[in-house]
Amino acid sequence: MLNETEIERRLSAYGDFLLKRSLVASGKETFFIHWVRKYLSNEASFKGVKWEEKLPQFLDKLATEPKIAAWQIDQADQAVRLYFLNFYTSEQLVTAKTGGGSNKDAPGLYDATQALADLREWMRIKHYAYKTEQSYLNWCKRFFTYSVQCKGGGESGNEVHVSGELIKDFLSHLATQRKASKSTQNQAFSALLFLCRHVLHVELKDMETTLRSKIGKKLPLVLSPMEVKTLFSNVSGTNGLILRLIYSSGLRLSECGRLRVKDLDFDQGLLFVRSGKGDKDRSTILAAQIQPELQVHLARVRKLHEQDLADGFGEVYMPGALDRKYPSACREWGWQYVFPSTRLSVDPRSKKTRRHHVSETTIQKAMKKAVRDADLVKPASVHTLRHSFATHLLLNGVDLRQIQDYLGHKSVETTMIYTHVVKNMRNPAISPLDLLDQMTKERR
- Rounded CA gap, 336 and 242, in Å? 16
> Active site residue: 252, 260, 331, 356, which one?
252
**Active site residue: 173, 244, 357, 409, which one?**
409
Q: Has 277 been annotated as catalytic? A: yes
Enclosing H/E stretch for 353: strand 353-354
The kind and range of the H/E element at 345 are: strand 345-346
The 3 state secondary structure assigned to the chain is CCCHHHHHHHHHHHHHHHHHCCCCCCCCHHHHHHHHHHHHHCHHHCCCCCHHHHHHHHHHHHHHCCCCCHHHHHHHHHHHHHHHHHHHHHHHHHHHHHCCCCCCCCCEEEEHHHHHHHHHHHHHHCCCCHHHHHHHHHHHHHHHHHHHHHHCCCCCCCEEEECHHHHHHHHHHHHHCCCCCHHHHHHHHHHHHHHHHHHHCCCCCCHHHHCCCCCCCCCCCCCCHHHHHHHHCCCCHHHHHHHHHHHHHCCCHHHHHCCEHHHEECCCCEEEECCCCCCCCEEEECCHHHHHHHHHHHHHHHHHHHHHHHCCCCCCCCCCCHHHHCCCHHHCHHHCECCECCCCEECCCCCCEECCECCHHHHHHHHHHHHHHCCCCCCCCHHHHHHHHHHHHHHCCCCHHHHHHHHCCCCHHHHCHHHHHHHHHHCCCCCHHHHHHHHHHHHC
Pick the catalytic residue from 212, 262, 277, 356.
277
User: Which residue is catalytic, options 136, 247, 317, 418?
Assistant: 418
Q: Would residue 409 show up in a list of annotated catalytic residues for this protein?
A: yes
420 is catalytic: no
Provide the CB-side half-sphere exposure for 243 (13 A, CA). Answer: 28
In this structure, are residues 363 and 381 in contact, taking their beta carbons and an 8 Å threshold? no
Pick the catalytic residue from 161, 297, 354, 386. Answer: 386
Residues labelled catalytic: 252, 277, 383, 386, 409, 418
